Chain A
Amino acid sequence: AQSVAQPEDQVNVAEGNPLTVKCTYSVSGNPYLFWYVQYPNRGLQFLLKYITGDNLVKGSYGFEAEFNKSQTSFHLKKPSALVSDSALYFCAVRDVNRRGRQLTFGSGTQLTVLP
């Protein structure tokens, strides 16, 4: 089985400050890990992914995420938050060997960047 936990329903940060959105995962094999963002009344948009290689992956809009195998975490980060980053963020995981390529999503974290 594969699962994802996002321990924070809501994260508030001041504009210009660094932000972190937390994610931990569980899979039986090796993981593929993803972050998606959802703006109001829109579908999810892909931000970044970890497949293999460098543990620090860079994605769209200045976001990055660090894969930590020992802690089974994949936290999303950005050095300087913008008001326009305010959105709902989802972490997702897939076991490398899972047929069908379906992702399991976390419950989401609402990020609010305060001006």
Chain B
Amino acid sequence: NAGVTQTPKFRVLKTGQSMTLLCAQDMNHEYMYWYRQDPGMGLRLIHYSVGEGTTAKGEVPDGYNVSRLKKQNFLLGLESAAPSQTSVYFCASTWETGGRTGELFFGEGSRLTVL
């Protein structure tokens, strides 16, 4: 039972390069999220999706794009990486309904360094 899987787990980029982080969940969840974690700032929401084909902006969306072409996958893209995007990125997912209100299931994180 894999749960939420993020790839890659580590990546080093140069300023201006692009990359995509992949999040895959096998729990048939409707809702998926991308957060970034920075020291002393907790987790901040970048983008989220309430279902296949839908995306929405979170608290810190600038410099990122997302896509949800398949229900089980949520991709986070950086078109032109900047040092300020050095962070640990977490994907999470949850149900739409069913009494299991609010619990998020997290992946193990992707550590990105932008030089």
What residues of chain A have their CB less than 8 Å away from a CB belonging to chain B?
4, 6, 9, 32, 34, 36, 41-46, 49, 51, 90, 94, 99-108
Contacts and interface: CB of A to CB of B under 8 A. Distances in A.
Interface in B61-110: 90, 92, 94, 101-109
A100 B90 contact: no
Given A99-B50, A102-B48, A46 B103 contact: yes
Contacts of A44: 43, 90, 92, 104, 106
B42 A105 contact: yes
A102 B43 CA distance: 12
B29 to A, nearest CB: 11
A43 B106 contact: yes
26 contacts: A32-B101, A36-B104, A41-B108, A42-B108, A43-B4, A43-B90, A43-B92, A43-B107, A44-B43, A44-B90, A44-B92, A44-B106, A46-B103, A46-B105, A49-B101, A90-B42, A100-B31, A101-B50, A101-B102, A102-B33, A103-B102, A104-B45, A106-B42, A107-B40, A107-B41, A108-B42
Q: Is the interface of B mostly helix, strand, loop or mixed?
A: strand
Contact of A45 (B43, B58, B106): B106
Contacts, number: 64
B56 interface: yes
Contacts of B35: 105
Contacts of B102: 32, 34, 49, 51, 94, 101, 103
A41 B45 CA distance: 19
Given A43-B109, A44-B106, A107-B40, A102 B101 contact: no
Could you say which of B48, B58, B104, B107 has the most chain A C-beta atoms within 10 Å of its C-beta? B104
